[in-house]
Structure 1
Amino acid sequence: MTRPTRAAWAGLGVTIALIAVAAAVPPLTGWAVHSLGVAPLHGPWQPRVGPGTPAAILLAVAAVVFAPRITRWPWWRLQVVVVLAGIGWMLSLATVDGWAGIAAQLDHGNDYLPTARTITDVGAMLREFVARIPFSAAPHNWPVHVAGHPPGAVLFFVLLVRLGLGSAIASGLVIVLLASTTAVAVLTTMRRLGGEEAARRSAPFLVIAPAAIWMASTGDAVFAAVAAWALCTLALAATSVGVRARVWAGASGILFGVCLLMSYGLALVAVLALAVLVLARSLRPLPWVVAGVVLVVGGFAVAGFAWWEALPVLTRRYWDGLASSRPAAYWTWANLAAFAVSTGPIAGAAVATAGAAAAARLTGARPPLPRAAVVAIVLCLAAVTTVLLADASQMSRAEVERIWLPFVPWTLVGTALLTPRWQRWGLAGQAVFALLVEHLVKTGW
């Protein structure tokens, strides 16, 4: 959709260098960055192969070979392939460690599922939730992940338990199914905003992303799916009229409210929401969206959990924990390296190309771009802005390869701007990179 530029090469080079430097600096200097693994990732070196290895390699090869043809298929068939390929890619990478690759982390004492199994009174849980966040509430304080999120996160797993899906394997499979729809929501959003060509071109990158390594075994993948569908329904609302527009807007508001009740950091999705409204050139959905958010967040407040009261308490616990030992001088930039591992290095070329195209257009150095290119540029740069704001907040020192999963697909839509040659080799590079990370690092999620 755009010509190859020096920006793409520069972006790719900077991204690879950033990852390499972030990995090399701690062991070479002896800097204690408290990564709990191979900085900037969370997990130790552990070269291995496993049951999922053959399937992962086969899917990677198939994606590279057949992606150009599949992206030209009818829209509904493309969506089906995106979901099925996403499920296959996530499961094959996770099962490099056998079923433990899905179940082990979900069953960890610091995660949501063990706590969800103990909750029998949701009302009581909500009323005492804030009081049990601080370390000083020990021995009755919440485990790390439960305390670090609003109660919506653990309530998702409470629901699974009550539906009879409370085993780690069953919960993991539900997460995979939900996570596989994230790409569909992103692509539908782009298409609705007039960017179908860009959606088709970026589809393979949304599926074959290294982020899949963390999407089969972490609640953050669920947060990413909910956020993506909140943005998708917002796009549907902004491009519809009448009752249908109001219904979509209300649904979007409810989903945005759920986002806020699952992760404090998802408040930053507002940047992407603004990008959607700008592309749609419509503010009509806003009253209904706000009403939906108020309904959800206000409802939880009435039930006993006030989001605005919990956030400062969580902030104090965060700085009382390991975060205070993780140096900002390293993690402020190493976080970006960890995110680059999750997106894959091609994201650097995509972001640089999007930035260069936007700058050239704003300065009048380039004629008007096709609508599909504009959609990809705006969404990609909005995602990057969101990541930079999250990084500046200093509320996520390390582990962002999973924490920032909701921003990964929106960053990767920028791959639509790359030429076919860049895309072909870039997709192969992404697949190889994901396979190497999975088989060399025993990721903690």
Structure 2
Amino acid sequence: MSTTLLARLRRTTARADLIAVGVAVGLFAAAAGVGGLLHLLGRPVHASAAPLFAQWRPHLGPGTPLAVAVAVLVCWRGSALAGRLPWRRLLVLSYATAVAWTLSLALVDGWQRGIAGRLTTHHEYLHEVPGVTDISAMLGAFTSRILDFQPDSWTTHVSGHPPGALLVFVWLDRVGLGGGGWAGVLCILTAALTAVAVPHTVRLLGTDDAARAVLPFAALFPGAVWSGVSADGLFAGVTATGVALLAYGLTRGSAVGALGGGALLGFGCYLSYGLVLMVPIVLAVVMLGHRRRPAAWWALGGAALVVGAFTVAGFDWLTGYHLVIERYYQGIASRRAYGYWVWANLAILTVAAGPAAAVILRRAAVAGWQAVSSLRPGRGLPRPQQGTVGYAAWLLPVAAAAAIVAADLSGYSKAEVERIWLPFTWWLMAGAALIPATGRRTWLAGQAAVALAINHLLLTTW
């Protein structure tokens, strides 16, 4: 291919990336405009800064200098360090960076409002912790308290989730780390595990170069605005670690890794009903790690142990799920119009996953189409060519997108998906290697700018 033709192809591809981002930004602008118009017409969408669940309140805070410093350092040196440091040292650095990024963003709102007070409101988990004196009795009676308008109805967030989420905070309290401060720190530390789990999964299933490209994007993720502090950040960390352990078990033939991965993914379903939608990501991992299929049985065994333990303890997942659907429409969800949120939810991804997500998804769709077009009957996908990013770089983001679309169409995620979809949106960054190396710093800067702007212009609820 001539130099002129190659340059023209690169310009065309870069233009397509900008168009994809422009469409995403336009979708967000439309959601904001329509949300405001509906409010003026007396048909509010019940999100204060539609489509985001927040309040317009420009402010600075103690976390501002650290957040800006982390963003500048990652944009300036992140990709270069990711390309040359030893892998294990990189994982430690990525985790520390994610913790610093998430913590600093939370501290923009101050310690009490940004961290210690987030999970202590009447609607949150910690409100119910003092009342759990007998865990076994709580699990046995959990479903009877899901529906609203009863004297002992669970608070909004406890009723909307299986008991695993409440159990985490009860256990934390039992070991002497009670209160909103410790709960907030736990969410931040657990959510930051995604900055290790996502790139390590890509390395196990794809290539070293592809994984190194993911590291700065996973660490400087805009969704950290909501993972610090929300229980959904904790959910993201738990399930991402489960996926990484599953990938390790499948590729290394480790029964322990697969068993642990299955157990964490199974426990994820008892943290949030919606986490059954991790299935597309899990299937992608199984497809890419098919060399050690017996490990998949160990993973199923790990998940079965968790399901069995909760069932024996008295909690029936299916009963809880059906009651939660009824509870969902006892509250604000009945007033949130599906016709607006079914597309406004997707607009939120522009800020929750950042503009780089639009670029990654566009490129992943193209790469996926090319790979499927090259399928040979009875022989599956051909081996990736030397020097390519591998199949994981496009299959994992596509799987995450499939989970997001399923969650969106279900109608059970109307608004607040900037935090609810964190377990899925982080996996969009698995395709960061699809972005040309020359453009990664620019898109990293875009990611950071979005997070900083949202956190300083709006007062988020989580």
TM-score range, shorter chain: over 0.9
Inter-partner Cα distance in structure 1 for 2:362 and 2:210: 16
1:96 paired to 2:108 = yes
1:295 paired to 2:305 = yes
Inter-partner Cα distance in structure 1 for 2:126 and 2:185: 14
Q: What are the within-5 Å matches in structure 2 for residues 113-192 of structure 1?
A: 113-136=126-149, 138-192=150-204
Question: CA offsets per residue over residues 375-397 of structure 1, 9 Å max, x none?
Answer: 11010101001100111111110
Please, which moves more after superposition, 395-404 or 176-185? Answer: 176-185
Residue among 387, 391, 413 paired with 2:408 = 391
What's the counterpart of residue 323 of structure 1?
A: 333
**Given residue 416 of structure 2, which amino acid in structure 1 is its aligned partner?**
E
1:199 paired to 2:211 = yes
Inter-partner Cα distance in structure 1 for 2:453 and 2:322: 39
Inter-partner Cα distance in structure 1 for 2:71 and 2:303: 40
1:14 paired to 2:23 = yes
What's the counterpart of residue 350 of structure 2?
A: 340
Is the Cα–Cα contact under 8 Å of residues 5 and 353 in structure 1 kept in the other structure? no
CA drift of 1:371 comes to: 5.4
Q: TM-score normalized by structure 2?
A: 0.91
Please, which moves more after superposition, 281-290 or 187-196? Answer: 281-290
What's the counterpart of residue 443 of structure 2?
A: 426
What's the counterpart of residue 285 of structure 1?
A: 295
**Given residue 285 of structure 1, which amino acid in structure 2 is its aligned partner?**
A
Residue among 34, 52, 55 paired with 2:66 = 55
What's the counterpart of residue 79 of structure 2?
A: 68
CA drift of 1:6 comes to: 4.3
What's the counterpart of residue 263 of structure 2?
A: 254
Q: Provide closer, same or farther for how the CA distance between residues 232 and 377 of structure 1 changes in structure 2, counting only shifts above 3 A.
A: same
TM superposition outliers: structure 1 runs of 4+ over 4 Å? 367-371
1:35 paired to 2:46 = yes
Inter-partner Cα distance in structure 1 for 2:14 and 2:77: 26
CA drift of 1:34 comes to: 3.1
Q: Alpha carbon RMSD of aligned pairs, Å? A: 1.8
Instruction: Determine which structure has greater relative contact order: mean sequence separation of CA pairs < 8 Å that are 6+ residues apart, divided by chain length.
Output: 1
CA drift of 1:281 comes to: 2.1
Q: What are the within-5 Å matches in structure 2 for residues 339-418 of structure 1?
A: 339-364=349-374, 370=387, 372-418=389-435
Pairs aligned (count): 439
Gaps in structure 2 of 5+ consecutive residues:
1-8, 376-381
Is the Cα–Cα contact under 8 Å of residues 210 and 433 in structure 1 kept in the other structure? yes
Residue among 203, 217, 226 paired with 2:238 = 226
Please, which moves more after superposition, 49-58 or 153-162? Answer: 49-58
1:438 paired to 2:455 = yes
CA drift of 1:364 comes to: 4.9
Question: CA offsets per residue over residues 5-50 of structure 1, 9 Å max, x none?
Answer: 5442222111111111111212134353433310111111001111
**Given residue 347 of structure 1, which amino acid in structure 2 is its aligned partner?**
A
Inter-partner Cα distance in structure 2 for 1:226 and 1:182: 8
Is the Cα–Cα contact under 8 Å of residues 71 and 448 in structure 2 kept in the other structure? yes
Is the Cα–Cα contact under 8 Å of residues 343 and 408 in structure 1 kept in the other structure? yes
1:238 paired to 2:250 = yes
Task: Give the share of equivalent positions with the same residue, in percent.
Answer: 41
Any idea what SS the aligned residue of 1:372 has? coil
Any idea what SS the aligned residue of 1:320 has? coil
Q: TM-score normalized by structure 1?
A: 0.95
Inter-partner Cα distance in structure 2 for 1:152 and 1:389: 23
Q: Provide closer, same or farther for how the CA distance between residues 70 and 312 of structure 1 changes in structure 2, counting only shifts above 3 A.
A: same
Is the Cα–Cα contact under 8 Å of residues 226 and 259 in structure 1 kept in the other structure? yes
Inter-partner Cα distance in structure 2 for 1:118 and 1:339: 37
Any idea what SS the aligned residue of 1:97 has? coil
1:82 paired to 2:82 = no
Is the Cα–Cα contact under 8 Å of residues 15 and 348 in structure 1 kept in the other structure? yes
Is the Cα–Cα contact under 8 Å of residues 266 and 304 in structure 2 kept in the other structure? yes
CA drift of 1:264 comes to: 0.4
**Given residue 272 of structure 1, which amino acid in structure 2 is its aligned partner?**
I
Please, which moves more after superposition, 157-166 or 24-33? Answer: 24-33
Is the Cα–Cα contact under 8 Å of residues 206 and 391 in structure 2 kept in the other structure? no
Is the Cα–Cα contact under 8 Å of residues 47 and 415 in structure 2 kept in the other structure? no
CA drift of 1:338 comes to: 1.6
Is the Cα–Cα contact under 8 Å of residues 266 and 306 in structure 2 kept in the other structure? yes
